[in-house]
Amino acid sequence: MCGRYALKTSVPEIARILGASAKAEFAPCYNVAPSRNVPVCRISDAGGRELALLRWGLVPHWAKTIDDRYRMINARAETIASRPAFRAPFRSRRCLVPADGYFEWKAGPQRKQPYFIHRSDGFPLFLAALWDRWDKGKDGPLESFCIVTTSASDHLATVHDRMPVVIENDDMNTWLDREVEDADRLLSLLSTQKGDVLEFTPVSTYVNNPRNDDPRCLEPVAEPPGT
């Protein structure tokens, strides 16, 4: 799964990399947690790429209320085309979540050890995601998203058995294009993960508290004995 990540690269730099317009303003966040409004890249109504602020935790458009039961932070790639909450967004509301890396926790002899998983070259990751718009009540409209996960590569499975789907540059146009509805073509992008380009670094349990949001969340620590 993916339940916490970091985004310290600036919105203008993310927009430059993606060739997107930037509707969003966002200060660096070292400990992004669900329910936060964060930048995602999607295709705008005008047809170009845009960065907009959406809330992490997808609420389907058909939900009767904004309820915790519907706030899904992840969607499994294996069932993304069939589950009711994800079918429609998978067809035409796909997006990318920029991140400098994400956190996972590995069970240890005394406590769970957090790791920061990131590219070795420091380049941002662009995670496959789905978004939806809910507008059925006075609390709307609400635009929200969830991150797509898949089985971890052998390299990363030593930390956790799931990982977010990373969309590479060559596949971004296909993933974002609302005209592409071929499920097999889209699913193929979710099943060829190159976890070997990622590395994991043990970090302090300081990151465990989502209220802690500063560079200390990313500071490496020594690998605990027996982890």
CA atoms within 13 A on the CB side of 78: 6
CA distances from 194 to 77, 84, 152, 199 (A): 15, 29, 9, 11
Nearest alpha-carbon partner for 55 in 74, 34, 37: 37
Identified catalytic residue from 29, 41, 50, 104: 104
The answer to whether the CB of 10 falls within 8 A of the CB of 17 is: no
168 included as an active-site residue? no
Q: How far apart are the first and last CA of the chain?
A: 20
The strand order across the sheet containing 101-106 reads 29-32, 5-7, 101-106, 113-119, 198-202
Phi-psi region of 101 (alpha: psi -120 to 50; beta: other; left: phi over 0): left
29 included as an active-site residue? no
> Which residues belong to the active site?
2, 104
